[in-house]
Amino acid sequence: MRDVAVIGIGIQRWGELWERSLRDLFVEAALNAIRDAGVERLDSMYVGCMSPGLFIGQEHLGSLLADYLGVCPIPALRVESACASGGMAVRAGFIEVASGLSDIVLVGGVEKMTDVSGGGATYALATAADAEYEVYQGATFPGLYAMVARDYMRRYGLTREQLAQVAVKNHDNGALNPHAQFPSKLSLEAVMTSTMVADPLRLLDCSPITDGAAAAILCPLSMAKELSKQPPVRIAGVGAGTDHIALHDRKDFCEFKATVAACERAYKMAGVGPEQIDFAEVHDCFTIAELCVIEALGFFPRGTAGQATWAGETARTGKKPINTSGGLKSKGHPVGATGVGQIHELVTQLRGAAGARQVPGVKRGLAQNMGGSGGSTVVHILEVV
Amino acid sequence: MVGIAGYGAYIPRNRIKLETIAEVWGADAEAYRRGLVMYEKSVPSPDQDVITMTVEASRDALKRAGIEGREIGAVYVGSESHPYAVKPSGTVVAEAIGATPAVHVADFEFACKAGTEAMFVAMSHVKAGEMRFALASGADTSQGAPGDALEYSASAGSAAFVMGTENVVAECLHTYSFCTDTPDFWRREYQFYPSHGGRFTGEPSYFKHVIGCAQGLMELAGMKPADFAHCVFHQPNGKFPMTAAKKLGFSVEQHRTGLLTPWLGNTYSGASPIGLTAILDIAKPGDLIFMVSYGSGAGSDGFVWRCTDRLPAVQALCRQTRPQLEENKVYLSYGQYAKYREKIKRAH
Amino acid sequence: MAFVPSYWRETPQRYRYEAVRCEECAKVFFPPRRSCGPWCGCKLEPCTVAQEGRVLTHTVIHIGPDQFSDETPYVLAICEMDDGARLTAQVVDCPPDKVDAGLRVRIEFRRIQKDGESGILMYGYKVVPA
């Protein structure tokens, strides 16, 4: 397997983008990545997108987006793993470069969520859960994560304030991110008094509905200097994993086994452990998710992530900064794009180009992107060369 | 010997008080309470209907009969508020109790008499030797038009009976039916609420048929009121059955156990059947029970039951009727009731 | 939106709680599966999910999907039945503040959804306090 590098990244401001179509969002991010890298061709592309069929009545994105990007006849494929679609697209591109099959691969992600009503978006997102045995019974994503939160609170004494602090912290970071959907600070009180969605999760514990895209250019590390002026960032480790799709089939609701499986493989490939990760972008679809994930990644012992967050250990200035981009909560969560957006943040930080939200001296970052209630997860470890 | 081998009843938890309804329409609650002898009624939750209640009642009936669903040869569901206009309730019940596919299924309809006619037919099949066991039920979630007198009584509940020649707990000694074409209460297709003939629903309708059936039954059986431990009549309100019982010569004591409407409301096809289950819950071996139903349109089915030695052993096997009537009640406001009963116009 | 054939296909589970049990380890699979895994030699025998069990965790859903919008707020719980089978179900006929981990519950037959005003009615299981 060849070493793989990221030599270009592209994104746009995420939000409710009424005037922008899916194809337009993707092409903009892709062009930004191509120009950032300075490459003059593409060999292949992968696009992560959870459900263009349900959101905009469009499948066959490989053809559509290769067409609109103007790169036919290269091979192009849409990758799906619910909310982990973007990360899985990156992994697919990594494999194609690492294997030697292609040299320059575009990996991107996009989701256009606002063409349907709120009910329509909820329905589309719910297809990430067990349609017959969870969704049919009345389950929603906030509902499933609320059941995790309740279990965590009962077993570990997590308080409502500690949980809310995840959102406060992520907004502190997102306020400094020019691409964030909600670039504003949030008070603890605002989170704790926002509308109840699924007890105990309130509106501001939940990531939003967002339109957006992100893209990156991968190439063999050995060719990076020749292909691009950008300092290459090496993909040191990749791992993915699965878990029971239905939350009720898991032995321990607070243990995200797909994340454990994915990061074990990524750490092994990278030859590092959790202590050597300087910062991470994790999948905070709901505040409770961030807490369970950072434990699954080995950053904090089980049951302590809430206290660690409250104590500021995961703040931008803490000992393990989590979600310096603002996370899904503040940056937004255009489902298929999120995983690639996480790579965008890692590369930006590792290049030292994160401006006001830069964490000084970072050398190695981790991105964890998760589907549904944790049924699938993909982890990437990136490091400076 | 042919009769009831197992029985069950299901009453939803929600209630609304008569005065809660009266207040909204500016009606004299006390006058209605006295006039109708009605205090409160059951209200089905949005996730309950004739099918769901009948599945639960049927499962209890099977348990008391001591048989499995696959031993049932016929499933008959009688109601005037079947969930579908076209598609049987009976097939869902049959599937849920495991009686499919070798089973005869039919839905019955005859205003409030649909339950007892299902019982009549189920018993006939068993008596004729067509099958060992047959299931019959009467259930309703009928609507009362807002502000109409029927709004104080239209309620929800289900009773189910396994008829058989084995494991009998209440033998059927006699049946008698009395029917004429009498348009006292009806609902045309596409109408959400039924219509009725006001005072015409009394003497020429309810009383003519209930009394006519009762007298015919007693003559056929060669019996008189004093022979019976219990009686149960169709009970659209508290007043009508009390009047009929008195007219026929039954005492308050005989009538008391099976009269549930003042607290349950009128469960239409479930009315006298659920009353019968309340009696069976406490009856003793040898007790004779006199039962006459009534369905508008109009007709009455009459039955004479005699309790067997097997009855005491099954009474406490499953949930009983009085506890369901009296315990764990949730009182609704008129707004909640209107929402649950889909009386509020929605934008669709 | 109801897919009629896929609703009908699940009725043995939704109406009669049909499952399978592994003869070796006594694990109950609900809904039934063909196998524990491709290389597991277990024999899976038909069984029925136990009718009683307890709540493991729950939530109260205030903002629900369109087809449940008339029922909010409603309680959703993960229950472990007495034979070890796990299921997700609404808890009904119980005040939301009385639901907590450990509550004993029993399965009851209810209408789960309806497909608008002209589509099919869909039935299945909810739980009530036992």
Contact at 8 Å (CB) between B249 and B225?
yes
pLDDT in tens, C75-103: 999 999 999 999 999 999 999 999 999 99
Angle between helices A287-296 and A160-174 (to 10 degrees): 90
pLDDT of residue B220: 97
pLDDT of residue B346: 86
Catalytic annotation, residues of A: 83, 333
- Give the residue among B172, B111, B154, B103 at the shortest CA–CA distance from B132: B103
**How many domains does chain A contain in total?**
2
Phi, psi (degrees; rounded to nearest 5) at A153? -65, -40
Angstrom CA distances, C88 to A28, A200, B277, C56, stand at 42, 18, 34, 10
Query: Domain residues of chain C, as ranges?
Result: 4-129
pLDDT band of A254, cuts 50, 70, 90: very high
Residue B129 has pLDDT above 90, yes or no: yes
For residue range A28-44, list pLDDT tens digits in order: 999 999 999 999 999 99
- Rounded to a whole number of angstroms, the distance between the first and last alpha carbons of chain A is 17
pTM exceeds 0.90: yes
Q: What sign results for the dihedral spanned by CA atoms B257, B259, B264, B268? A: positive
* A contacts of C63 (beta carbons < 8 Å): 140, 142, 195, 197-198
In this prediction, residue C66 carries a pLDDT of 87
- The β-bridge relationship of strands B297-307 and B3-10 is unpaired
What band does C1 get if pLDDT is binned at 50, 70 and 90?
low
Smallest CA-to-CA distance from A84 within A365, A366, A286, A333 is with: A333
Q: Does B3-169+313-340 match B172-311 in CATH topology?
A: yes
Domain membership of residue A227 as a residue range:
4-117+209-233
A62 and A89 both lie in a single domain: yes
pLDDT over 90 at C43, yes or no: no
Do both A222 and A280 map to the same domain? no
The CATH class given to the B3-169+313-340 domain equals: alpha beta
Residue written as tokens 């009806």? B186
Question: Quick check: helix, strand or coil at residue C28?
Answer: strand
Residue appearing with tokens 């298929």:
A336
- Token pair belonging to A49: 């997108």
In the chain, the amino acid numbered A34 is I
CB-based contact (8 Å) between C11 and chain B?
yes
Contacts of residue B98 in chain C, CB cutoff 8 Å?
A: 16
Q: Are residues A275 and A346 in the same domain?
A: yes
Q: Is the pLDDT of residue C104 over 70?
A: yes
CB A50 within 8 A of CB A80: yes
Q: Provide the pLDDT confidence category of residue B348 given band limits of 50, 70 and 90.
A: low
Q: CB-based contact (8 Å) between B348 and chain C?
A: yes
Any idea which fold B172-311 has?
A: Peroxisomal Thiolase; Chain A, domain 1 (3.40.47)
Looking at this protein, which amino acid is placed at residue C16?
R
Q: Which residues of B are catalytic?
A: 80, 112, 234
Quick one: pLDDT at residue A194?
98
- Answer yes or no: do A173 and A66 share one domain: no
Residues A174 and A186 in one domain: yes
Quick one: which H or E segment has residue A378? strand A376-384
Same structural domain for residues A289 and A215? no
Report chain A's mean pLDDT, rounded to a whole number. 98
Pinpoint the alpha helices (H) of chain A: 22-37, 52-56, 61-69, 85-98, 118-126, 141-156, 160-174, 188-193, 221-227, 257-270, 287-296, 305-310, 327-331, 338-350
Task: Answer whether residue C2 shows pLDDT above 80.
Answer: no
Q: B142: which DSSP letter?
A: -
Confidence of residue A138 (pLDDT cuts 50, 70, 90): very high
> pLDDT category, C35, cuts 50, 70, 90?
confident
CATH number for the domain spanning A52: value is: 3.40.47.10
- CB within 8 Å: C90 and A122: no
How many other C-beta atoms can be found within 10 angstroms of the C-beta atom of residue B313? 12
Banded pLDDT at C25 (limits 50, 70, 90) = confident
The residue-averaged pLDDT of C5-23 equals 96
Q: Which pLDDT tens digit goes with each residue over B159-213?
A: 999 999 999 999 999 999 999 999 999 999 999 888 999 899 999 999 999 999 9
Alpha carbon A323 to chain centroid, angstroms: 10
Tokens 């996480």 -> residue: A342
If DSSP codes are grouped into helix, strand and coil, which group holds residue C59? strand
Question: What's the mean pLDDT in A215-237?
Answer: 97
Q: Where are the domains of chain B?
A: 3-169+313-340, 172-311
- Residue C120 CA: distances (Å) to CA of C1, C63, C123: 10, 24, 10
pLDDT in tens, B26-60: 999 999 999 999 999 999 999 999 999 999 999 99
The DSSP bridge pattern shows strands B14-17 and B330-331 to be parallel
Query: What pLDDT does C41 receive?
Result: 79
Q: DSSP H helical segments within B70-203, as ranges? A: 89-96, 114-127
Inter-chain CB proximity C123 and B13 less than 8 Å: no
Average pLDDT across chain B, whole number: 96
In tens, the pLDDT along A51-81 reads: 999 999 999 999 999 999 999 999 999 999 9
Chain B residues in contact with C111 by the CB 8 A cut-off are 46-49, 51-52, 83
Global ipTM: 0.95
User: What one-letter code names the amino acid at B314?
Assistant: V
Q: Are residues A78 and A23 in the same domain?
A: yes
User: Which overall architecture, per CATH, does domain C4-129 show?
Assistant: Beta Barrel (2.40)
| Residue B39 to residue B246: CA distance in whole angstroms | 21
Task: Tell me the β-bridge partners of B229.
Answer: none
Query: Do A164 and A65 share a structural domain?
Result: no
How far is the CA of C82 from the CAs of A119, B217, C36, in angstroms?
Answer: 36, 50, 20
- Smallest CA–CA distance, residue A160 to chain C, in Å, is 15
A242 with A224, same domain? no
Whether the per-residue pLDDT at C23 is higher than 90: the answer is no
- The answer on A358 and A246 residing in a single domain is yes
Asked if the model's pLDDT at residue A161 lies above 90, the reply is yes
pLDDT at B155: 97
Interface of C with B in 58-87 (CB under 8 A): 70-71
Task: Report yes or no on A126 lying in a domain.
Answer: no
